[in-house]
Amino acid sequence: MPAKSLTVAVPDALLKQIRIRAKQAKRTVEAEVVDILSEAISDDDRLAPDIVEAIARIPGLDETQLRDAANDVLSTKEVRRLESLNRKAQNEGLSAAEEKERDQLSHRYDKAMVVRATAIAELHKRGADYADLIAP
């Protein structure tokens, strides 16, 4: 892909941090800046299509269905496994199979949390009592 030049005034302290990162990554300052910018504007923060679809259905649910959606969370066993995989990833790394399992569990967790929050927000919007869904 053809590249364009961009001149940006960067505070000294920030430039120092970028230089340190570049040195640690064994690349040029320019490459580090491009990487930082790419990460900052990546599409990775967009919701997965199945999550978008799930939250789009929320307004059409009745109160019982909303409560069911708000209570659809990972099991204790799944949460413990995800925690274990995250710890292992930090400490020693994961095999490809473990990485895949962690990604699947993380996705399920993310979906459950977004759907739960959206369902509770819909209950609130409708004036329904939802205290039992958020109480400790």
Write the pLDDT tens digit of every residue in 67-124.
999 999 999 999 999 999 999 999 898 899 999 999 999 999 999 999 999 999 999 9
SS3 content of the chain, % helix, strand, coil (to 5): 75, 0, 25
Residues shown for the chain = 136
**Rounded Cα gap, residues 55 and 23, in angstroms:** 43
> At CB < 8 A and 24+ separation, what contacts does 47-50 make?
47/114, 48/107, 48/110, 48/111, 50/111
Q: pTM for this structure?
A: 0.65
Delimit the domains of the chain by residue range.
12-43, 47-134
